[in-house]
Amino acid sequence: MKFVVPIFDIKNLSFVVKGQTILSNISLEIFCSEYIAIIGPNGGGKTTLIRMLLGLEKPTGGEVRIYGKKLSNFKEWHKIGYVPQRAAQIDSSFPATVLDIVKMGITSQRGIFGTFSKLDMQLVNDAMLKMDILELKDKMVGTLSGGQRQRVMIARALASKPEILILDEPNTGVDVASQKNFYALLRELNKKEGITIVFITHDIGVIADDIARLFTINQKATVCNNPKQALSCEEMSELYGIDAHLLHVHKHEH
Amino acid sequence: MLEMFEYDFMQRAFLAGIIIAVLASISGTFVVLKRYSLIGETLAHSALLGVAIGLVAEYNPLWSAVVFAVISAWLIEYLRSRFALYSDAVLAILLSGSLAIAIIIVSLGGAFNNSLFSYLFGSILSVSSNDIVVIGVFGAISLATLLFFSKEFYFIAYDEEVAKTSGIKVNFLNFLLVSVVAIIIALSIRVVGSLLIGALMIIPTIAALQFRVGFLKTVLISLMFSLLSVLLGMTLSFYFSLPSGATIVLCIIVIFIISLVANRR
């Protein structure tokens, strides 16, 4: 079997707020170098699940283990890169250059005297190079386009050389052309660098060829091991509660 | 021009003013970026409550001001992080509550005298050598803390949740920042007054933000504006017999207006 090392081990996870069940008895495993998409209707619990994986919300039942450890005992957070929802929608008045933002990614690993070493700065430069934003490093982030801002946020997540990248609908406010480049980039990070990707999206048709497994979340979780064929229109309609049609994108290689 | 430095009290006043300008502008940058601008005013009024208790109990008001400002800072941070209350509402409640209790205590204790007024409006010209030592020592510790954790404070101000997921001890650092800000305010109110210290923390940063430059340049511009307004304000107050704290604040506001006009799009 290709995937043997579990990164996230989620057992019987539940989340109830003021009597309302957001997630109910979710059990999932995420393995090293997988590319996983999470889909589901708004309010179905996708973001809550991600927030619990990252320790931002405490489950009301069940547990999450990272690399076999309880969340409270896990210290190697630099192994996880996180790009939150609406990350590209930046407060334009915040005083931050592209370099300022990407350096945040290595802040938790800085030296004892608070300075960044040459190696740290090399990691920052590598992340900007990978995202093709090195020439923008002195630009104010508030002046960039949605697609460029998205790349900056991913560069920040990549600066700590993470083993897993978690993205929560990072395409909000990004134009279609930039989205296409973005999907190609995620594919490359997964295939060439072996980075595990967990990606909340609604564009499942576009990335169906790339992903290894698909989680559908709507209070409960369903795992699809063959994403291209598993989701019939009926299943999508049931999941989203409306008439849904899955559009497959045909790639033309030249 | 330099004749004012022939007086010992002016030398001490300038030294205290420079130390407080540095501390207020650097701590103020993080406070503004965290959208916490009112915290300066609130903690200053909590410190005033400490002063009132110190005066009535005939205990050194500086230390009771530090204690009350720090307790108030912890309470603000606890309420904000634990109960997701509206931050500005928490600040408003503590601001008026502290002031009301301070006035009642002083009134009951019969100590509503010049001492309390000097903490309300500041009395930079009556700063003693002992005050300079206290401000210098605690100021140096506060500044070292701010600089050492500046990268973390900056990250938290930008995105608290992502900072947390990257392994930064966000809760501890939030409490640390408000504690340092509380200490700086308690040390400063003797010099610039509880009514004016908030302005010295916030307005230089707001003026610097008009230039739309990166973090380090924003901090340096804010520091420059803060120093300029303190030095200019004290000089003007000496030659025109104006109240020093109010003159300093008016200088900052003029600098802010110039920054706003010069950088308008």
- Residue from A107, A149, A164, A168 whose CB has the most chain B CBs within 10 Å, to mutate: A107
**Low-confidence winner among A247-251, B3-7, B84-88, B246-250 (lowest mean pLDDT):** A247-251
Nearest-Cα distance to chain A for B16, in Å, is 28
Mean pLDDT of chain B: 88
Residue B125, domain member (yes or no): yes
Give the Cβ contact number of residue B101 at 10 Å. 17
Distances (CA, A) of B38 to A211, B33, B42, B43, B192: 48, 12, 6, 9, 17
A131-135 average pLDDT score? 90
- pLDDT for the residue A6: 82
Domain A6-240, CATH among 3.40.50.300, 3.10.129.10, 2.40.50.220, 3.40.50.1220: 3.40.50.300
First to last CA, chain B: 38
DSSP letter at A142 equals G
Taking residue A237's Cβ as centre, other Cβ atoms within 10 Å add up to 13
Residue type, A204: I
Out of A75, A94, A114, the one facing B148 most closely (by C-beta) is A114
| pLDDT value of residue B31 | 93
Question: Quick one: average pLDDT of A207-233?
Answer: 73
Confidence at residue A112, expressed as pLDDT on a 0 to 100 scale: 64
pLDDT of residue B150 exceeding 90, the answer is yes
CATH of the domain at B170: 1.10.3470.10
pLDDT (mean) for A105-122: 81
Per-range mean pLDDT, top range of A131-145, B72-86, B92-106, B123-137: A131-145
Q: Work out the average pLDDT over A161-181.
A: 80
Confidence at residue B84, expressed as pLDDT on a 0 to 100 scale: 65
Question: What is the residue range of B58's domain?
Answer: 2-195
pLDDT exceeding 90 applies to what percent of chain B? 50
Among A2-11, A98-107, A213-222, A232-241, the minimum mean pLDDT is found in A232-241
**Predicted confidence band at A252 (pLDDT cuts at 50, 70, 90)?**
very low
Chain A residues whose beta carbon lies within 8 Å of the beta carbon of residue B164: 54-56
Q: Helix B170-192 and helix B114-121: axis angle, to 10°?
A: 120
A92 vs chain B: nearest CA distance in angstroms? Answer: 9
- Asked whether residue B43 is assigned to any structural domain, the reply reads yes
From A139-153, A176-190, A230-244, B59-73, the region with the lowest mean pLDDT: A230-244
DSSP assignment letter at A202:
S
Kindly tell me if the per-residue pLDDT of A240 is higher than 70: no
Q: A217 - beta bridge partners?
A: A221
Q: If you ran DSSP here, which 8-state letter would residue A71 be given?
A: G
Cα-atom radius of gyration of chain A, to the nearest Å?
19
The beta-strand segments (E) located in A74-208 are 80-83, 164-168, 196-200
Q: What is the pLDDT of residue B205?
A: 95
Q: What is the mean predicted confidence (pLDDT) over B39-59?
A: 87
B205 touches B253 (CB < 8 A): no
Instruction: Give how far A85 is from chain B: nearest CA, Å.
Output: 11
In chain B, the percentage of residues whose pLDDT exceeds 70 is 96
pLDDT value for B111: 57
A→B contacts (Cβ < 8 Å), by residue, are: 54-56, 75-78, 80, 82, 84, 93-97, 99-101, 103-105, 107-108, 110, 113-114, 138, 140, 142, 156, 160
Contacts of B161 (CB under 8 A, 6+ apart): A56, A84
What residue segments make up the domains of chain A, in order of their start? Answer: 6-240
Interface predicted TM-score of the whole assembly (ipTM), two decimals? 0.84
- Structural domains counted in chain B: 1
| pLDDT at A253 (0 to 100) | 43
Of A238-252, B94-108, B150-164, the range with the lowest mean pLDDT is A238-252
For A76-95, write each residue's pLDDT tens digit. Answer: 898 999 998 766 667 778 99
How far apart are alpha carbons B96 and B89 in whole angstroms? 11
The answer, yes or no, to whether residue B114 has pLDDT greater than 70, is: no
Query: Would you say residue A246 has pLDDT above 70?
Result: no
Task: Using DSSP bridges, classify how beta strands A196-200 and A213-218 pair: parallel, antiparallel or unpaired.
Answer: unpaired
CA distance A23 to chain B (A): 21
Whole-number Å distance between alpha carbons of B203 and A168: 36
Q: Report the C-alpha gap between A88 and B209 in whole angstroms.
A: 21
Is pLDDT at A1 greater than 50 in this prediction? no
